[in-house]
Amino acid sequence: MTALIRAELQKLFTTRIWWAMLIVMLLLVGLNLFFIIAFAGDTPQNGAAPGLPGLEDPSWLQMALSVGSSGTIFTMILGIIMMTSEYRYQTITGTFLTTPRRGRVIAAKLGAGVLVGLLFAVVALVVVGVVAVTAVLIAGGEVSFTESRVPQIAIGVVASLALYAMFGIGLGALIRNQIAALIGGIVWAYVIESIFAAIPALQGVGKWLPGGGTQALMSIDIDTGLGESQLLPAWGGALLLVGYAVLFAVVANLTTTKRDIT
Amino acid sequence: MTAIEIRNLAKSFGPVRAVDDVSFTVEAGTVTGYLGPNGAGKTTTLRSLLGLVTPDAGEALVNGQRYASLAHPLNEVGAVLEATSFHPGRTARNHLRIMCTAAGLPATRADEALEQVGLADAAGKRVGGFSLGMRQRLALGGALLGNPKIYILDEPANGLDPAGIQWLRGFLRHLAHDQGAAVLVSSHVLAEVEQTVDNVVIIAKGRLVRQGTLAELTQNGESAVRVRTTADFAPALEEAGARVEKVEPGLLRVYGLEAETIGQLALDHKVLLTEVAHERSDLQKVFLELTGEPVAAEAAQ
Ligand SMILES: Nc1ncnc2c1ncn2[C@@H]1O[C@H](COP(=O)(O)OP(=O)(O)OP(=O)(O)O)[C@@H](O)[C@H]1O
Ligand SMILES: [Mg+2]
């Protein structure tokens, strides 16, 4: 199995898409970071909702680090591409000739996806960490990596990026058409998830969706004025994401991957 | 053990019976041509053999096993499929290295195989810029990685230039006759494989129409000798045991006698022959007859 996972990583790193994704992820993370540095400590005029904490406030660092989780969309896209480009370029034929036990191919891709997600998360955290800590120090605040849930958030970022890569692979195995899978994944992540997350009446359902799982993983329950959201415990969020990925992969394995390759 | 065995294989795509009760075997050390016109079911048969298509009925086995149950498939079977696809952004070498990694073969096999198929110079180039013939060679390189003893090739000559086809012929013969491999190679052009194959399996509309050695296939059409003479030569020929067909005034088609015997007979009877020629039963004609294609080529002549 490790040989198959290595082969999957080789497939990804011998094409160019991965670093394009990495750069776009870092740009988005950087943009987010820019805004929360620029507006740190700002209180909205009407005073109804609490604004961003100040740079000296320990909770600001939590918030800054959690920006790393915006990379989930990119690891998901990469996961979708890892799976669907096999069908798009018909390399799946060669893949299944080399490894005729198709379930093992999907399993190896899930394994490789986790590793890629970890890599992306580490890069994102290092960039965010360096920038955020610098900002805090310049503002004269103090930094403590052990306090204020910094480790938990870091783990949350790592886990969510890795799990979203798995999620993307499962989704791609199920919807073999690359464009359809990408549209499906992105619409889901940006439209449907945010509807469920934003509308309080739907939050009871939203916590069972992948986005709810990510939030649970981070446990960022900073009050945004909409009231406490009802999230699962962190471990529950992780299980939920693994569950989705495995569910998709298993369903795909029973359906789409069984199909004739002609 | 039989290298390749296909037993009562059947596969339908919706209403289309792509392969219908096909059985044949390929032994080690031989090259078998799998022939048929477009849409005959060649690709479907080969894909069933490689576990890519699940047959509706029957079995397709390599070394007595289903392909999907082989522990090290690349070490047992090398396959080149029609329209083999590669990721355009990946280099030839990387493509083969990935196969090596997944199959547990040393990465050095990639460069060795590229050397063997004449792609050493293009090893570091992205496949997106490859010509059809180069892709075909790369696919063949992939088949060679594990040094298998069975080769399954779907129209491997597609896109190759005349020199490439020449090379491929020699290479397939070398694999079978020198290395003892079993080679199954499909084509819809008989002439393409005529010089390479030992055995022929012909399929048309999903059904097997003929199988045997190349020689047996050509014997199928009776060989005849064209004889042109103004003399009344037929009775003498018939007396010697021949069957004579009068094609047109002055032209006879003689069955059952060698040209030399006919010449001797003419000499004995003091008959002037203006033409004596073997009418070789044309392989392509036999093929077209067997596969039920309209004999357009003949009509055009
Ligand atoms: N995936 C598919 N879906 C529907 N029909 C198919 C499919 N694959 C093959 N067929 C049909 O099955 C029949 C046999 O096709 P196949 O590709 O095996 O022929 P072939 O002998 O390889 O032809 P060619 O010389 O053109 O490559 C054809 O009628 C084809 O239309
Ligand atoms: Mg074909």
Domains observed in chain B: 2-217 (3.40.50.300), 223-280 (3.30.70.100)
Cα separation, A164 vs B69, in Å, equals 32
Q: pLDDT tens digit string along B145-188? A: 999 999 999 999 888 888 889 989 999 999 999 999 999 999 98
- Is there a contact between A262 and B99 if contact means CB atoms under 8 Å apart? no
CA dihedral B119, B122, B123, B127 (to 10 degrees): -100
Whole-number pLDDT of residue A127: 92
B87: which DSSP letter? Answer: -
Which residues in chain A are closer than 8 Å to B97, comparing Cβ atoms?
Answer: 10
Backbone angles phi, psi at B187, to 5 degrees: -165, 155
Which pTM value belongs to this model? 0.84
Whether residue B231 has pLDDT greater than 80? yes
Q: pLDDT tens digit string along A89-143? A: 999 999 999 999 999 999 999 999 999 999 999 999 999 989 988 888 888 777 7
- Asked whether residue A196 is assigned to any structural domain, the reply reads yes
Q: pLDDT tens digit string along B46-56? A: 999 999 999 99
User: Which residue, chain included where needed, has tokens 């549209």?
Assistant: A183
Which residues in chain B are closer than 8 Å to A96, comparing Cβ atoms?
Answer: 51-52
Whether residue B101 has pLDDT greater than 90? yes
Contact A193, A211 (CB under 8 A): yes
- Asked whether residue A47 is assigned to any structural domain, the reply reads no
Whether residue A7 has pLDDT greater than 80? yes
- Asked whether residue A261 is assigned to any structural domain, the reply reads no
- Asked whether residue A48 is assigned to any structural domain, the reply reads no
Whole-number pLDDT of residue A225: 41
- Expressed as residue numbers, the domain containing A243 is 2-38+53-256
Q: Which residue of B has its CA nearest to A103?
A: B68
**Where is pLDDT greater, at B297 or B252?**
B252
**Where is pLDDT greater, at A41 or B74?**
B74
Question: Can you count the helices (H) and strands (E) in chain B?
Answer: 12, 13
What does the pLDDT average to over A193-201? 79
How many beta carbons lie within 10 A of that of residue B177, not counting itself? 14
| Per-residue pLDDT band at A149 (split at 50, 70, 90) | confident
- Asked whether residue A46 is assigned to any structural domain, the reply reads no
Nearest alpha carbon to residue A162 among A75, A68, A65, A249: A75
Report the residue among B13, B84, B189, B193 best suited for mutation to probe ligand 1: largest number of ligand atoms under 8 A from its CB.
B13
Percent of chain A with pLDDT over 70: 90
- Is there a contact between A100 and B99 if contact means CB atoms under 8 Å apart? no
- Is there a contact between A260 and B54 if contact means CB atoms under 8 Å apart? yes
- Asked whether residue A43 is assigned to any structural domain, the reply reads no
**Which is it for the CA torsion B237, B242, B244, B250, positive or negative?**
negative
**Where is pLDDT greater, at B137 or B299?**
B137
Instruction: Name the helix (H) or strand (E) containing B208.
Output: strand B207-213
How many beta carbons lie within 10 A of that of residue B180, not counting itself? 12
| Per-residue pLDDT band at A254 (split at 50, 70, 90) | confident
Which residues in chain A are closer than 8 Å to B81, comparing Cβ atoms?
Answer: 93
Measure CA A183 to chain center. Answer: 16
Nearest-neighbour CA in chain B from A124: distance (Å): 26
Whole-number pLDDT of residue B295: 45
Flag the least confident range among A70-84, A230-244, B110-124: A230-244
What does the pLDDT average to over A55-68? 81
Note whether A152 contacts B: Cβ–Cβ < 8 A. Answer: no
Note whether A255 contacts B: Cβ–Cβ < 8 A. Answer: no
The neighbouring-strand residues paired with B126 are B91
- Is there a contact between A7 and B94 if contact means CB atoms under 8 Å apart? no
Nearest-neighbour CA in chain A from B186: distance (Å): 16
Ligand 1, atom 18, lies closest to the CA of B41
Whole-number pLDDT of residue B83: 66
Whether residue B72 has pLDDT greater than 70? yes
Percent of chain B with pLDDT over 90: 62
Averaged pLDDT score across all residues of chain A = 84
The neighbouring-strand residues paired with A175 are none
Whether residue A226 has pLDDT greater than 50? no
**Where is pLDDT greater, at A7 or A245?**
A7
- Is there a contact between B53 and A262 if contact means CB atoms under 8 Å apart? yes
Return the ligand 1 atom nearest residue B44 CA: 18
Residue of B13, B16, B52, B97 to mutate for A, most A C-beta atoms under 10 A: B52
- Asked whether residue A216 is assigned to any structural domain, the reply reads yes
Nearest-neighbour CA in chain B from A158: distance (Å): 27
- Is there a contact between B101 and A260 if contact means CB atoms under 8 Å apart? no
- SS3 assignment, position A91: coil
**Which is it for the CA torsion B198, B204, B208, B210, positive or negative?**
negative
Averaged pLDDT score across all residues of chain B = 89
- Asked whether residue A153 is assigned to any structural domain, the reply reads yes
Q: Which residue of B has its CA nearest to A84?
A: B87
Q: What is the ipTM of this complex?
A: 0.86
Whether residue A220 has pLDDT greater than 70? no
Contact A257, A101 (CB under 8 A): no
Number of domains in chain A: 1
Which residues in chain B are closer than 8 Å to A258, comparing Cβ atoms?
Answer: 54
Which residues in chain A are closer than 8 Å to B18, comparing Cβ atoms?
Answer: none
Whether residue A205 has pLDDT greater than 50? yes
**Where is pLDDT greater, at A189 or A220?**
A189
- SS3 assignment, position B276: strand
